[in-house]
Amino acid sequence: MINTGQSAASQGLLSCHDCHALWKQSEQHTHCQRCGSALHLRKPNAMPLTWALLLTSTFLLVPANMLPIMMITSLGRGEPATILGGVIELINLGMYGIAFVVLAASILIPVGKIIGLLIMLVTLQFGLTTNMQQKMMMFRMVHWIGRWSMLDIFVVAVLVALVQMGNLAQISGQLGATAFAGVVIFTMLAANAFDTRLIWDKHSGTDSE
């Protein structure tokens, strides 16, 4: 007898991660018969994988902010630019709106994303299943907004391609940009590796295998 209102796992069912087809656990398919994806009750190694990716991106946050992301050379004088420096420059130009967009995309979102994922990991680790609706909302937000952090990398990409005026003015990309792209990609991968169902397993009191 299958009861709705419980987790599918507790009712002997398993849903495919890719196409969401429901399969009976007793059938023991290794791959989904509908879409061909590998079947798992929960994402394998969700917790260690998310931790590892999250720590990597946290470490990369340091060089991403300390190292210059680009070098602006004009009339023979080179000046390195960092992410924060770029924001300050926009503020000095009086462009507060754009300064805020860049600040949000380059610093607030990546840091917020790391904190958001940490909250989810700690929630899972200690089974703190209060305010789950809010936590899920936050996780979805973190997931959705993550790619917007690539903004600063694309700005540098465009500047590097456009400002190639020899000794008059020249912009070149620097290592900080690579580190920053690393932060963005590893936080995106971390969010993908996490499985929110693991938290709900604790919430409803049904243990996952």
Q: Scanning the structure block, which residue is given the tokens 């929630």?
A: 123
Judged by CB under 5 A, does residue 35 bind Zn ion?
yes
Among 24, 29, 34, 140, binds Zn ion (CB under 5 A): 34
Q: Which helix or strand (DSSP H or E) is residue 184 part of?
A: helix 175-193
Q: Could you give the CA distance from residue 90 to residue 52 in angstroms, rounded to a whole number?
A: 35
Least Å distance, CB 45 to another protein, is 18
Q: Could you give the CA distance from residue 170 to residue 9 in angstroms, rounded to a whole number?
A: 59
Instruction: Using CB under 8 A, list all residues that contact another protein.
Output: 1-9, 11, 13, 15, 17-24, 34-37, 86, 90, 93, 95, 98, 101-102, 132-133, 136-137, 140, 146-148, 150-155, 157-165, 168-169, 172-175, 177-178, 181, 185, 188, 196-197, 200-201, 203
Least Å distance, CB 127 to another protein, is 15
Stretch that binds Zn ion, among 19-27, 54-62, 83-91, 154-162 (CB under 5 A): 19-27
Q: Would you give the DSSP letter of residue 31?
A: B
Asked if residues 193 and 52 have their Cβ atoms less than 8 Å apart, the reply is no
State whether the Cα torsion 96-97-102-103 is positive or negative.
positive
User: Which of Zn ion, another protein, none is residue 1 near (CB under 5 to 8 Å by kind)?
Assistant: another protein
